[in-house]
Amino acid sequence: MSVGIVETQRLVVTDTEPLRLVCGAELAHVEVAYETYGVLSPARDNAVLVCHALTGDAHAAGMHAGAAKPGWWDNLIGPGKAVDTDRFFVISTNLLGGCAGTTGPGSTDPATGRAYGLDFPLLDVADLVAVQRRVLDRLGITRLHAAVGGSLGGMQVLQWALEEPERIERAVLVAASARLTPENIALSSVARAAIMEDPDFRGGRYAEHGVSPRHGLKVARMLAHVTYVSDTALRAKFGHRRDSGPGDMRLTADFEVEHYLQHQGTSFLERFDALSYLYLTRPMDYFDPFATVAEREVGTRFRLISFDTDWRFPTAHSLHIRDCLAERGIAVDHTEIASPWGHDSFLLQPPGYHDLVADHLAR
């Protein structure tokens, strides 16, 4: 079952005061794209916040009119699904710094009348959460039944629950991290370098020149996508199959896996902006909430889920979160799920995964 046809809505969250960021800068105008599914109960106690990953958006479930694909977490959200919209009122917001309807570096700076570009202030995961908090305030939701997120989405949920545990009853973190490894940071650094060193980047002012750093963004996505899948999945899907005949060799794409990555990189250009990629990867590098958020009493109940073939945020990351939460006396459960699909498993349905989410929300 699906939630059906949905529309993205927009909300200004700086109508009463500007948004002050962790870096000290202020944004005078912040507009947020969001979607909701289900019905808010009269007591306003059935709200579930869904937090998206790096390249996601507000469209988590259902169909946009005329679209060919449903929202990115449609297999998890809907009537009778793990996040059951017959029971819960689900809110999904596009992140600050994004390029799908929420204010970001490609938006117009009201002070200059031109796009922010690299003048947009650097962001912290706490800033992403602060904007979500304002959306909920304007929707009249003071406490969440649950917050659910995968990858960067799970990092947002963790920040939320440590900062304001009184606002979140249950937290679900899937394939998430509380502190990136040097390898994670290195991979993102290479991706950002590909974008910023593209000749068409133009110091972040590429739109004003009528160009885009398409090559750099494509390479960044190709590199990132390799980290989202597993060797098992690539072997099963492509093996060692090639286009060219026996004995033929060439420098251009030949193996089927190469064509797959080319396709992933090219299709990404149609839905994402290079500046948003820069601004949303960097907060992940600096994320370390157990070092930056003061210890306090936390009544939020945590469910952590990891996948055995995820090498971008492997199970060790979830175990680190589990141990840090336990040291603070916070209730937490963790399960590693067997899956052939690597980090992308959080978007799919390996056996047992959705059951754990449903159980935690219903408990």
Active site residue 343: yes
| Helices (H), ranges, the chain | 125-138, 152-163, 182-196, 214-228, 231-238, 256-268, 274-286, 289-292, 315-327, 353-362
- Looking at the structure, tell me whether residues 110 and 241 fall in a common domain: no
* 281-328 pLDDT per residue, tens: 999 999 999 999 999 999 999 999 999 999 999 999 999 999 999 999
CATH code for position 259: 1.10.1740.110
Claim to verify: residue 168 and residue 96 sit in the same structural domain: yes
Whether residue 214 is annotated as binding a ligand: the answer is no
User: Residue 63's beta-bridge partner residues?
Assistant: 5
Could you confirm whether 29 is annotated as catalytic? no
Rounded to whole angstroms, how far apart are CA atoms 211 and 337?
Answer: 43
- Structure confidence at residue 232 as a pLDDT band (50, 70, 90): very high
- Which of 59, 334, 343, 360 is flagged as catalytic? 343
Same domain, yes or no, for 129 and 274?
no
Question: How far does Cα 347 stand from its chain's mean position?
Answer: 11
Which of 59, 273, 310, 345 is labelled catalytic? 310
Count up the domains in the chain and report the number: 2
Sheet containing 301-307: give its strands across. 9-12, 31-37, 89-93, 47-51, 144-150, 168-174, 301-307, 332-337
Tokens matching residue 235: 């072997």
57 vs 172: CA distance, rounded Å:
19
* Choice among 59, 107, 127, 151 that is catalytic: 151
Cα(308)–Cα(306) distance, rounded to whole angstroms? 7
Check whether residue 118 and residue 244 sit in a common domain.
Answer: no
344 assigned binding-site residue: yes
What is the bridge-based pairing of β-strands 168-174 and 144-150?
parallel
pLDDT in tens, 324-361: 999 999 999 999 999 999 999 999 999 999 999 999 99
Q: Which of 258, 281, 304 is a domain's end point? A: 281
212: exposed, middle or buried (Cβ count in 10 Å: 0-12, 13-18, 19+):
middle
Read off the pLDDT band of 275 (50, 70, 90): very high
Name the residue among 319, 321, 339 with its Cα closest to residue 330. Answer: 321
β-strand pairing of 144-150 with 47-51 = parallel
Write out pLDDT tens, residues 64-83. Answer: 999 999 999 999 999 999 99
Residue 247: pLDDT band (50, 70, 90) is confident
Q: Which domain holds residue 97?
A: 9-181+288-362
pLDDT of residue 244: 83
Say if residues 97 and 279 touch (Cβ distance below 8 Å).
yes
